[in-house]
Structure 1
């Protein structure tokens, strides 16, 4: 009796667990060694097809491992993945490499800068996840891009923190945008996320121009508000305000990136020639990565010049209040994305059921 109780689980249980483990390892090995090659646009649903990109699509419905490991494959999303992956690594390395002044310890004055860096890393990582995993299924496609919009919105508010506390001038803060800056930045960040989620969920390919309007208007308004302290500085004499060259470069890179985001060039004029390299969205990714790195460099310089007076100029209460809004914005945007994903899941299930019923009826 005692011997049988100490012999361990029955042989059938051990055998079943070993079979499941062997099957899992076999699938993982097969996915790693022989990932399914990219296919032409005609072999994936229209949701995954990009204008003028005729090949290089990853097949839909593979195991999750295949999409994670596709980071090492050559397909039409490879450049989009690696540009932001490398940008995230470069941004983090630059942040860690920033020299610390003697006797200077991170404190409340550095919190807005730290939240900006975290926000930039969040949007870069969300972008990597979106482009890496979106080919798994229609629901995965929508869900990961909803998450991507969360990252963009969080980055917008993180930028607002950095530009307000390190780049703004007293004259600007005394004007109209000053008191409404953080509530406006928080609201527009959420509207940007909500507008992008709505446009992605509501409009179907081929996308009409109205979809661009839904995404660009709230994002554009948010950018204008967030960058208003820097625009005010750029309008004055540069000689008395060091570091403005980096801010000007950052703004120029961002504005140029919006051109390639909005227009499918050069692939529009070279259909099929830019399937793997040279797409407008890839150029957009490169410019946006350079924009974020330049923005960090500009804010690091501003912080080095103003860190001793941040709390004196703004007060601890204002810094805390503005920084606490950051996780609130992130939480609201994440909740919006989750609700959008849940609603889209219901729509997709309904469409699948209707197609099945129509097929059975015919």
Structure 2
């Protein structure tokens, strides 16, 4: 660069007439330096643009070359969904294949992304509430914390199940049993938040000693029912009954304090939480309908299996249910403090937290026992 500046100065001295003032050499040096820097930056910009243009190709090379998806006749019976005829991923691929398949099109793509987005939204909601709620020192905030943790768990476990459940038959059972743990512990989290914050005095006097033990029992039965329903997945009727019946019973019990409270709702009631409680009930009823019945598949019988599925719609409604539930419980935590302090003893929240931990341990142990039975069943099928 210095040699270029000297050559430029000599050239200017040669071509400048004797009767004219020679331009200031330092200014010329500065101008030449600026021009050189600009040229270099423009060169780097073009190089950067070329690299950016190569990003799609690099991502394509990094992602696994997705083989043609399979039809239901190409995969084991335990992995089939009776309403989905195609779009199944290959089995027995490496783990990287399944992790990166979230960016590709198959019959689980929307199931993964609907709950992944919900997980991020709930996580943002947790961070926002943590600014206003002392979850460490205020024991009366622990039921709300259990609801938040259980909400994060069920969405995360659902993402894992839908993303990795096609690895093998045994992995399918393992990850979906993990998903059922998420569902069951979320049912318990919903129950403890409703019982602690949303319940009215009249109902509390009837169920104060039995509500949470019954809720824990129903969540355990829901988990067992889902596991056995998956175990009997070759029988679609047993599978659906195992999933729906105990979960319906658990939800009916868990939501009863909210329904009791909504039954006395009037126009004159000045309670901002009630509209969110009503919203969570309405969203859940829609979620249950899309989970139980193949509504979308029936409407679009000839449609794409990528888009035309009821399960992602169920995920969306369930996520809306959770968000309404969390906000309603927070409003009850802040607005009904005098009431729940008078109803619950000082050690109740700690007991419910311990019962939550014990329930999760029971789910894990029971799931491990049923998985041993699953492993034997799959071994017999391989021998046959």
Q: TM-score, normalised by structure 1?
A: 0.84
2:275 to 208, 232, 245: 245
2:263 to 224, 228, 235: 235
Q: What does residue range 184-333 of structure 1 map to in structure 2 within 5 Å? A: 184-204=214-234, 207-208=236-237, 210-238=238-266, 239-307=269-337, 310-333=340-363
Determine whether 1:138 maps to 2:157: no
Distance 1:79 1:55 in 2: 15
Q: Deviations over 1:208-258 (max 9, x none)?
A: 2x3322222211111111111111100113414431111011011111111
Runs of 4+ in structure 1 off by over 6 angstroms are 102-105
Distance 1:312 1:41 in 2: 57
Determine whether 1:113 maps to 2:144: yes
Distance 2:85 2:62 in 1: 25
**Preserved contact between residue 228 and residue 239 of structure 2 (Cα < 8 Å):** no
1:60 to 80, 91, 94: 91
Distance 1:51 1:33 in 2: 28
Measure how far apart 1:104 and its partner are. 9.4
Measure how far apart 1:311 and its partner are. 4.0
Which stretches in structure 2 are left out of the alignment for 5+ residues?
1-59
Distance 1:37 1:349 in 2: 28
**Preserved contact between residue 123 and residue 151 of structure 1 (Cα < 8 Å):** yes
**Preserved contact between residue 180 and residue 226 of structure 2 (Cα < 8 Å):** yes
Aligned equivalent of 1:335: 365
Determine whether 1:87 maps to 2:118: yes
Measure how far apart 1:335 and its partner are. 1.1
Q: Deviations over 1:140-187 (max 9, x none)?
A: 111111111111000000111111111111111012x33210110000
Measure how far apart 1:54 and its partner are. 2.8
SS of 1:268's partner is: helix
Q: Relative contact order: is structure 1 or structure 2 higher (C-alpha 8 Å, sep ≥ 6)?
A: 1
User: Which stretch has the larger CA shift, 151-160 or 238-247?
Assistant: 238-247
